[in-house]
Amino acid sequence: MTRLQTFGIVIVAYMLAHGLTAWLITPVQALLLPDVTDFASLAYLPHGVRVLATWLLGPIAFVPLALGAFLSELMFTPSDVSQATQPVILLSIAAGAAASPLAFEMMRGFGFNLYARQPRRGHWKWLLLAGSIASFTNSLAQSTIFSQSILPGEAVTVLVIYAIGDLIGLVVTTLLLMMVFRRMRLSAARRS
């Protein structure tokens, strides 16, 4: 598979995850928890795509993640809410796309190279740790970027919701992909 094809898959996966979050999770969250922030989702599925794409591609994952996030903003965010080309949105996209590569590079700096094509196979718990670090990094960045729009008393709540949403999104996305891959292996085994 070429790098361009891989980028395309990451972009489409990001957009699908964002669409599910925008059209399913966010409306349910607004119904059940109307007082919770509009800035963050309690299950942000694209974070799982960020972590898994970074694991597979390395730091270059920033490129398809940023493109996927930009296209998702164009497709799923109503124009009366925000425009994908607004500087604050572009900064938010860049911060979100950079969070996972930064976390993986930080882990590598501490001697834990978690990228997929390493001689030593990583354990899924290490991916969750890298995803947690990425979530925390993203939460801080997004809270800072949108600080002008967040009421002072809600800053900590928004930060926590970002972190929780990213982590839940990572776990849900990972579990879904594990089920899909298992199904694919079983189907291939039956055909053999």
> Quick one: pLDDT at residue 41?
85
pLDDT at 119 over 70: no
Nearest to 146 by CA among 99, 86, 78: 86
- pLDDT above 70 coverage of the chain, percent: 96
| 95-118: average pLDDT | 94
Give 43: exposed, middle or buried? Use CB within 10 Å, 0-12, 13-18, 19+: buried
pLDDT given at position 14: 97
Instruction: Grade residue 121 by pLDDT with cuts at 50, 70 and 90.
Output: low
What's residue 177's pLDDT? 80
Averaged pLDDT, 170-174: 91
Q: What is the mean pLDDT of residues 167-178?
A: 89
Region 95-123: mean pLDDT is 89
Lowest-pLDDT range of 9-13, 41-45, 66-70: 41-45
The three-state (H, E, C) secondary structure of the chain, written as one string: CCHHHHHHHHHHHHHHHHHHHHHHHHHHHHHHCCCCCCCCCCCCCHHHHHHHHHHHHCHHHHHHHHHHHHHHHHHHCCCCCCCCCCHHHHHHHHHHHHHHHHHHHHHHHCCCCCCCCCCCCCCHHHHHHHHHHHHHHHHHHHHHHCHHHCCHHHHHHHHHHHHHHHHHHHHHHHHHHHHHHHHHHHHHHHHC
**Is the model's pLDDT at 192 over the cut of 80?**
no
Ranges of each domain in the chain = 3-191
Fold for the domain defined by 3-191: Arp2/3 complex 21 kDa subunit ARPC3 (1.10.1760)
Cα Rg, the chain, nearest whole Å? 17
pTM of the model: 0.89
> Between 123 and 70, where is the model more confident?
70
Q: What is the pLDDT of residue 189?
A: 83
- CB 10, CB 63: distance < 8 Å: no
Q: pLDDT over 90 for what percent of the chain?
A: 55
Give residue-wise pLDDT tens across range 15-50: 999 999 999 998 998 888 777 666 678 899 999 999
